[in-house]
Amino acid sequence: MPAGQKVYYLFQRYVTKSYPRPLSPTIESAEVQISHAQTIVATRSDVGTLTLLEFGAGWDLYANMVYYCYGLNHQIAIDVRRWARAETINAVIAHLQKDPPPGCIRVPEAPVSDTTLDADLERLYGIRYLAPFDGRATGLTAGSVDVVTTTSVFEHVPEPICDAIFAECRRVIAPDGMMRHTIDYSDHYAHADPSITSYNYVRFGRRTWTLLNPGIHYQNRLRTPDFIRLFEKNSFRIVACDEWTGDAQEFDRVSVHQDFAHYGSDTLRVLGAHFLLQPI
């Protein structure tokens, strides 16, 4: 629809009140981002000099502000659409001042302005914000990125584009670099509708799901074996893959469409995974 992105934001801001999102306590709301940051800190002694590339910066650059708290001075935050707003970013800044992540070395201090947002982010926090931006062709120098992270992003990207992005990640990542991705396989409609389960969308075949799957909230329904295949195809080694599963009884109540039969119930019960990868 015309101005759909703006309408989408206004509904989240004033109707569902999703943004600024609830952030307290930080140790829970930023659990994944803290885990990413702590993995980087535990693995590398040169955190302050690393360059981090984050796909899917979102409305408030929450992950990037958390990474700043842990000492990362050079970040590139990209997104397919220009979602970020000073209002939502400043809400994160104010929150982290009151409730900093555990073990962090600093907190963000200065607010940003919509009129100078990109310049403020880079000057104050070392965050280069690029949106709208095509992650398949970043234009970055080969081997110039030390860390690549995402949080609940790649479940929203069509498989061929995931493949192309991973190929680009392999090109830009340093030989001793690392990637850490958290991917949420659950039906995201269940996050807001308690009448359906996290497995709801496996009831639908590909043709039907095409009609129910809008571009602004696209879900690719890929599972762990699909992502492992794509990572390995693009010359990444799986260092760790930590999965979590949902309720077995909840899964048993869902009638799985034949399009998903080849996965098997054990694979379909998995609701998400944390991947740690290194280039080969």
Q: Do 246 and 271 form a contact (C-beta atoms < 8 A)?
A: yes
Average pLDDT of span 152-180: 98
Q: Do 168 and 135 form a contact (C-beta atoms < 8 A)?
A: yes
With b meaning 16 or more CB within 10 Å and e meaning fewer, what string describes 145-156?
Answer: bbbbbbbbbbbb
- What distance in Å separates the CA atoms of residue 247 and residue 260, rounded to the nearest whole number? 18
Q: What is the pLDDT of residue 18?
A: 66
Cβ neighbors of 245 (< 8 A, separation 6 or more) are 269, 270, 271
Average pLDDT of span 246-269: 95
Q: Is the pLDDT of residue 22 over 80?
A: no
pLDDT-derived band at 9, boundaries 50, 70, 90: low
| Tokens (6 digits) for 58 | 């979102």
Q: Please state, for a pLDDT cut of 70, what percent of the chain lies above it.
A: 94
Cβ neighbors of 268 (< 8 A, separation 6 or more) are 199, 202, 223, 251, 256, 260
Reported as a single tens digit per residue, the pLDDT across 57-114 is: 999 999 999 999 999 999 999 999 999 999 999 999 999 999 999 999 999 999 999 9
Q: Do 183 and 220 form a contact (C-beta atoms < 8 A)?
A: no
Q: How far is CA 46 from the centre of its chain?
A: 24
Residue 22 DSSP symbol: P
pLDDT-derived band at 137, boundaries 50, 70, 90: very high
Q: Please state, for a pLDDT cut of 90, what percent of the chain lies above it.
A: 90
Q: Mean pLDDT in the chain? A: 95
Q: What is the pLDDT of residue 19?
A: 62
- What distance in Å separates the CA atoms of residue 109 and residue 104, rounded to the nearest whole number? 14
Q: Spell out the SS3 assignment of 71-85.
A: CCCEEEEECCCCCCC
- What distance in Å separates the CA atoms of residue 104 and residue 96, rounded to the nearest whole number? 10
**Mean pLDDT lowest for which of 135-149, 156-170, 205-219?**
205-219
- What distance in Å separates the CA atoms of residue 267 and residue 246, rounded to the nearest whole number? 11
pLDDT-derived band at 17, boundaries 50, 70, 90: low
- What distance in Å separates the CA atoms of residue 223 and residue 264, rounded to the nearest whole number? 11
Cβ neighbors of 159 (< 8 A, separation 6 or more) are 220, 222, 226, 230
Which residue's structure tokens are 């990125």?
145
Cβ neighbors of 15 (< 8 A, separation 6 or more) are none
- What distance in Å separates the CA atoms of residue 194 and residue 91, rounded to the nearest whole number? 28
Q: Do 201 and 193 form a contact (C-beta atoms < 8 A)?
A: no
Q: Spell out the SS3 assignment of 110-149.
A: CCCCHHHHHHHHHHHHCEEEECCCCCCCCCCCCCCEEEEE
Q: Do 167 and 138 form a contact (C-beta atoms < 8 A)?
A: no
